Structure 1
């Protein structure tokens, strides 16, 4: 799926509307279509209506509680060129966001949900390969509240989630939806400042993700961050327009893995991302169709080097995956782990060959 990174600017709040209120009205309408109830059934039907209203009210209260609890931990981040969102990672002032939000800048202005006065912040480190970065407030304000990050392995399709951030610069905005799918692998475009990263195990959501939501929080009804909204799908029929209701978030467990290393060591020391340790380029066949990845350079001692690959080889398969482009190779690797054994199918001197390989780390 072709995806791109949203961008940002503006300021206002969105109120989340409950879905069960409409469901209750529809249920009442369907009951009415089933025939006229006799008088003995009328009190029962009348009693059910307030119960449905209470249920909708309970859901609305739950939404509002989650918003009150989590929104103070969601901030707006502004640099010279970009504006996006971030999530307070700890009470020492570390804030996690997307690498494409910070770009190549080092200094930022951060605005919290409880204040209109911006705070200065400095980049700790950026990791574009996973589109994550951490910045740190230069001065930590009193009462700074860190978000709680969930184990994203517990995220299930159909869960209600809220997206919090600054879409189009509308700070402290909230939208709602569900988890539409898990385990998606998507490749971020480079246009508009994207990192070009291939991201695995993404959470797909129907909650609206607009320019400026990038780096914010995707939150479950327990008030836990389950992901960092990062990408919106592009509908080819809309040109560069985002496809409504299809957004992607980096899962919270990956966010914690990367952010913990940056906070502790100032950089990523163990990416958890598999690699062949080559430089390659997409090649085409006689019909000008993408037909594989030509090896341009092999890193000494890397996975491909140990497997015997050399410049000029053309990779056409990795495990069960067919490889036709650099992107398809990156997506296949995104599903694997460093140290995992698999096979590479490649051509050399017109002959197709297969070799076992132990994957390295990116």
Structure 2
């Protein structure tokens, strides 16, 4: 998603999920009006129904307005030298959480808040591309700066109404609406268009529109709590790589809090919470040039794979119940695990297949 398509707007970074998307068949429920008989012979019922529908709509609108008023002042626009994204005020000390791909390799940024026309400056605290998260800090804290409330990922459910807040295409303080359409997604970013190449587990899938510039902003529930950081939108290779409408992904709030707290306290990530085999690997292909596994190039001495007896030259073809054909599929399988978990790893060595139990390490 390239902001060059809209030359009147600031250039914004886009990530595309280069994966084949399954077309989901959905049925739409239509609200039908009363029949002539019900409106004429059941006047009491008709009157009640006609009054209730606008009231429900008004109540929902009031809920939206309340959430926007509560959270939008905590969502900022972040401008790097060439790229633009969003961020969320994390505390009253001026820390702002955003995506690592928003900050890139830069150290200094310009920040605009929703209720302050003055451009502020901020400095990078630390970027963690492995989870596509980063924290920057305002050089001067403006009066009235308000931190967002972070929600509980465990309470996120499919069907919940959510609002995505950020600066799509440079349009600051924009809000889109949708629902949580899935949870627990494992998504791999590309490395083109500025992506970090990270594989991120337990992501929140949403139908709320996520466009260039939304990255790093807030996905908010109707309790005015941030439940995720919008990070990327899906693209369909069958449509020339264009965005697939209504499919976006947000890093869950629990992971955001875990990583941000460590960065603020220690200036870096000391405990990733991400499982690892402690190997360096590469994708290998079969005789028909189809991906067929991950060849182990190097093994960390004393690490998870080394302890289990996996050696350089082995080709990993399965982790747990997941078939492994590429380095990305290996990363996705590990993203669903935790450090210390025990899992079966199947590999090929000298034409023979071997399965071992590995106690996973940590990235």
TM-score by length of 1: 0.91
Structure 1 residues 57 and 38, CA, compared in 2 at 3 Å: closer, same or farther? closer
1:125 counterpart SS class: strand
1:64 alignment counterpart: 65
2:140 alignment counterpart: 139
1:17-96 matches, within 5 Å, as 27=31, 29-32=32-35, 35-37=36-38, 39-96=40-97
1:253-292 matches, within 5 Å, as 253-292=254-293
2:117 counterpart SS class: coil
Q: CA deviation at 1:238?
A: 2.1
2:136 counterpart SS class: strand
RMSD: 1.8
Q: CA deviation at 1:349?
A: 1.4
1:224 alignment counterpart: 225
2:239 alignment counterpart: 238
1:97 alignment counterpart: 98
**Which stretch has the larger CA shift, 229-238 or 42-51?**
42-51
Structure 2 gaps, min length 5: 11-27
CA contact (8 A) 1:6 1:210 kept: no
The reply to whether residue 192 of structure 1 matches residue 184 of structure 2 is: no
Which 4+ stretches in 1 moved above 6 angstroms?
Answer: 5-9
The reply to whether residue 174 of structure 1 matches residue 175 of structure 2 is: yes
CA contact (8 A) 1:120 1:137 kept: yes
2:310 counterpart SS class: coil
The reply to whether residue 207 of structure 1 matches residue 205 of structure 2 is: no
**Which stretch has the larger CA shift, 286-295 or 50-59?**
50-59
CA contact (8 A) 1:6 1:230 kept: no
Query: Residues 21-71 of structure 1: CA distance to partner in whole angstroms, max 9, x if unpaired?
Result: xx9xx64x4322xx4247442343134312211211111011001000000
Structure 1 residues 37 and 304, CA, compared in 2 at 3 Å: closer, same or farther? closer
For 1:7 and 1:200, locate their aligned partners in 2 and report how far apart those are by CA, in whole Å.
28
Q: CA deviation at 1:115?
A: 1.5
2:256 counterpart SS class: helix
For 1:69 and 1:87, locate their aligned partners in 2 and report how far apart those are by CA, in whole Å.
13
Structure 1 gaps, min length 5: 12-22
For 2:48 and 2:339, locate their aligned partners in 1 and report how far apart those are by CA, in whole Å.
60
Query: Residues 181-208 of structure 1: CA distance to partner in whole angstroms, max 9, x if unpaired?
Result: 0000010011100000001000000000
Query: Residues 315-351 of structure 1: CA distance to partner in whole angstroms, max 9, x if unpaired?
Result: 1111111111000000000000001111111111111
Query: Residues 208-230 of structure 1: CA distance to partner in whole angstroms, max 9, x if unpaired?
Result: 00111000000000000000000
For 1:71 and 1:188, locate their aligned partners in 2 and report how far apart those are by CA, in whole Å.
27
Query: Residues 109-157 of structure 1: CA distance to partner in whole angstroms, max 9, x if unpaired?
Result: 0100001211000000000000000000001111110000011010000
Q: CA deviation at 1:6?
A: 7.8
1:215 counterpart SS class: coil
2:13 alignment counterpart: none
Count of residue pairs the alignment pairs up? 343
TM-score by length of 2: 0.91
For 2:311 and 2:248, locate their aligned partners in 1 and report how far apart those are by CA, in whole Å.
39
Q: CA deviation at 1:307?
A: 1.3
For 1:351 and 1:38, locate their aligned partners in 2 and report how far apart those are by CA, in whole Å.
76
Q: CA deviation at 1:301?
A: 1.6
CA contact (8 A) 1:6 1:212 kept: no
For 1:302 and 1:101, locate their aligned partners in 2 and report how far apart those are by CA, in whole Å.
33
Structure 1 residues 188 and 254, CA, compared in 2 at 3 Å: closer, same or farther? same
For 1:120 and 1:308, locate their aligned partners in 2 and report how far apart those are by CA, in whole Å.
51
**Which stretch has the larger CA shift, 236-245 or 205-214?**
236-245
2:147 counterpart SS class: coil
